[in-house]
Amino acid sequence: MTASAFERVYTIDDWYDGARSGAVNYLGRPHAYRSLYLDFDDWDTDEDRFELTPLSNEVLAWMIERDAIFRRFDTERQAGRVEADDEIMALPDERARYAELQILVDAALAEPAARFIVRGTFEYGPQFGPTRAAARWGAVEISDPPDAV
């Protein structure tokens, strides 16, 4: 499989020298992604393998809502109007909903119907919309059927 066209990145939930987890399209369908860079003793910040898990529209909606709550919080944090809470990155009136969404997403991803590993790269810039990122996917290394959802 050659590298794909740019795919939409819905959320970036974890960042370390680049996007490490969140929600993205793979072959035009929503998936959770998780970088494998910390899964090995000899981790490499240039690691380009990602575990993808097909997402239902409902779980994708939860992830997007949780991300919107975080973005509102982060805007206020960067402006110095609120302080970060290590556990719940949400404005005070949205913390309960953020925590609820976190539980729902974690439960949905705990026992997915399928997971597979692909090579991927992320590119960044304002042309890619709200997340300012897009992904390209390459060869599938280990695969369960990606059409499991």
- Strand pairing report for 133-142 and 29-35: unpaired
- Domain map (residue ranges) of the chain: 7-142
- For residue range 23-81, what is the model confidence (pLDDT) as tens digits? 999 999 999 999 987 666 565 555 688 999 999 999 999 999 999 999 999 999 999 99
Q: Is the pLDDT of residue 1 over 50?
A: no
Alpha helices in 31-94 (DSSP H): 57-78
pTM exceeding the 0.95 threshold for the entire prediction: no
CA distance 78 to 64: 21
Q: Is the pLDDT of residue 17 over 90?
A: no
Q: Is the pLDDT of residue 96 over 60?
A: yes
